[in-house]
């Protein structure tokens, strides 16, 4: 049971949603946007989050988009992971989403909630990082479109009260060879010890990670090492792990040493699989 | 949206549960699970973990299986809610009996609702789809094989 009350809004337009947010903010209600609500309800029940107002975005038409506009695929923030999986317009994304949480939870978890959430795995982010997606954000001054790298690579850095409306992805990446793999300690649907999503482009291999550290990320420096043809694969992997840019998690799911071990093997398998595939 | 700039904290509304309009008085912070159990007396959906992990609270909302512990009752406004009490002699219920697909029974209504949603959605589901859907629920008594046999009994017959 959630032990405190909050106001619930269900706006019909993005403008109304943003206005409701700022009006509630002005009244000291510490509002938050509400997508699938799975994380909000979980945290509120444990008193780890106490919003005074929630703004449900599932009625906003732009947040329910899922279609191509020219060369770009627009996916609305309120689309569920099941929607993305069952309409696999972006195959790498659909395959990544397929083992995030379990099927019934995926009926409720939204793309926007996973990208902006506080649970740090945010596995849905990785495919978007690999194809240099753009995100459409709405704030009090209107809409802005920025690279996903700018606001979501690592910890989310949306401005206070900004609403993630859509993610735009260029379809020219969709036919490229990819690997997406999740290593868990026990069940396939557990949180990842290591999740790697990787894409092979003409410029080289791109890779993004979740589960290894307490942020999901893509690093150009890691990619430069992985694509360095002067080194053997084993040397490249050693160097990546030795210079890992953030601390490797050491928690109940796995020690840092075990995670590094799983990371090493998963990197080797991913690189081998991708280097074998032709463009 | 409200005419005022205040959102809803508490309200009276009708939920469409098992084909009947049911008036309820809810707080916005009430989960669907709590309202079904505590206001409507529909105790088939169980509060196992209230954390999205076990699936004992699964109900069907407008055709989709949902963990009712992770849905606010107010979100279900205008939707068709089906709980285990709304299934009457569904083939999957008999199949659970025929195949001894439960022991203590705590997880059973959640599993049956998930299976029913699966049968409605994929009447010819293959093994991979069945496995994927069944991962959403936990049975502490480990009746997994029997549950799988029960769902096969229905799908293979249809
Ligand atoms: C049982 C279970 C298992 C899970 N397993 C995994 C897993 O394996 N891998 C993984 O990555 N995740 C996993 N998760 C975490 C889950 O993916 C996130 O908590 C979830 O994605 C949140 O999505 P939501 O739509 O329910 O978000 P909500 O609960 O609605 O919101 C989460 C946060 O994001 C903000 N937010 C939501 N939408 C927007 C928006 N459009 N713009 C701005 N801010 C927004 C909210 O204000 C809130 O702070 C699991 C969750 C559960 C319950
Ligand atoms: S009570 Fe809802 S998933 Fe366990
Ligand atoms: S029958 Fe006891 S938990 Fe499943």
ipTM: 0.96
Same-domain status, B54 and B7: yes
Same-domain status, B130 and B74: no
Q: Digits of tens for pLDDT over chain A (279 positions)?
A: 999 999 999 999 999 999 999 999 999 999 999 999 999 999 999 999 999 999 999 999 999 999 999 999 999 999 999 999 999 999 999 999 999 999 999 999 999 999 999 999 999 999 999 999 999 999 999 999 999 999 999 999 999 999 999 999 999 999 999 999 999 998 888 899 999 999 999 999 999 999 999 999 999 999 999 999 999 999 999 999 999 999 999 999 999 999 999 999 999 999 999 988 777
Same-domain status, B105 and B49: no
Same-domain status, B41 and B70: yes
User: Which helix (DSSP H) or strand (DSSP E) does residue A223 occupy?
Assistant: helix A220-226
Angle of CA points A62, A35, B27, to nearest 5°: 125
Q: What is the number of domains present in chain B?
A: 2
Same-domain status, B70 and B42: yes
> Which domain does B142 fall in, by range?
87-157
CA distances from A98 to A104, A115, A148, B73 (A): 12, 16, 22, 27
Same-domain status, B63 and B121: no
Same-domain status, B78 and B98: no
Same-domain status, B61 and B128: no
CB-count exposure of residue A40 (10 Å: 0-12, 13-18, 19+): buried
Residue A107 contacts B where some CB pair is shorter than 8 Å: yes
pTM of this structure: 0.97
Tell me the best of B29, B31, B48, B53 to mutate to test the pocket of ligand 1, counting ligand atoms within 8 Å of each CB and taking the most: B53
Same-domain status, B7 and B78: yes
Token look-up 């106001």 returns: A7
Closest ligand to B138 CA? Answer: 3
Last-in-domain residue among B83, B113, B139: B83
Closest ligand to B144 CA? Answer: 3
DSSP assignment of A83-123 equals HHHHS-SSHHHHHHHTTSS-HHHHTT-BHHHHHH-SSS--T
């Amino acid at each position: 049971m959630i032990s405190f009350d909050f106001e619930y809004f269900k706006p019909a337009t993005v403008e109304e949603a943003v206005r409701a947010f700022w009006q509630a903010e002005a009244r000291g209600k510490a509002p938050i946007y509400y997508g699938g609500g799975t994380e909000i309800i979980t945290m509120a029940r444990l008193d780890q989050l106490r919003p005074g107002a929630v703004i449900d975005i599932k009625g906003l038409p732009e947040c329910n988009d899922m279609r191509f506009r020219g060369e770009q695929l627009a996916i609305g923030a309120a689309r569920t992971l099941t929607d993305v999986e069952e309409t696999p317009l972006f195959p790498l994304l659909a395959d990544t989403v397929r083992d995030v949480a379990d099927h019934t939870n995926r009926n409720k978890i939204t793309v926007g909630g996973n990208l902006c959430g506080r649970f740090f795995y945010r596995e849905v982010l990785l495919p978007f990082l690999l194809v240099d997606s753009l995100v459409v954000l709405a704030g009090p001054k209107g809409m802005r479109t920025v690279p996903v790298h700018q606001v979501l690579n690592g910890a989310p850095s949306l401005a206070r009260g900004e609403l993630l409306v859509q993610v735009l992805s260029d379809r020219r990446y969709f036919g490229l060879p990819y690997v997406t793999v999740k290593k868990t300690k026990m069940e396939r649907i557990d949180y990842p010890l290591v999740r790697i999503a990787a894409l092979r482009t003409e410029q080289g291999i791109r890779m993004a990670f979740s589960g290894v550290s307490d942020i999901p990320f893509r690093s150009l420096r890691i990619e430069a090492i992985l694509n360095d043809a002067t080194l053997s694969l084993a040397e490249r992997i050693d160097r990546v792990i030795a210079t890992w840019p953030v601390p490797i998690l050491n928690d109940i799911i796995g020690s840092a040493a075990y995670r590094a071990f799983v990371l090493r093997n998963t990197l080797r398998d991913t690189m081998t699989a991708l280097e074998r595939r032709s463009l | 949206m409200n005419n005022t700039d205040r959102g809803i904290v508490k309200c009276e509304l009708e939920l469409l549960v098992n084909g009947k309009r049911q008036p309820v008085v809810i707080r916005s912070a009430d989960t669907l699970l709590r309202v079904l159990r505590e206001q409507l007396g529909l105790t088939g959906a169980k509060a196992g973990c209230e954390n999205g992990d076990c699936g004992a609270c699964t109900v069907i909302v407008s055709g989709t299986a949902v963990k009712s512990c992770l849905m606010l009752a107010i979100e279900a406004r205008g939707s068709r809610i089906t709980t285990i009490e709304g299934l009457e002699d569904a083939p999957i219920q008999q199949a659970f009996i025929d195949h001894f697909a439960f022991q203590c029974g705590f997880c059973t209504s959640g599993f049956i609702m998930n299976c029913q949603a699966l049968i409605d959605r994929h009447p010819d589901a293959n093994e991979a789809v069945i496995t994927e859907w069944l991962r959403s629920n936990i049975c502490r008594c480990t009746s997994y094989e029997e549950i799988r046999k029960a769902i096969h009994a229905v799908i293979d017959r249809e």
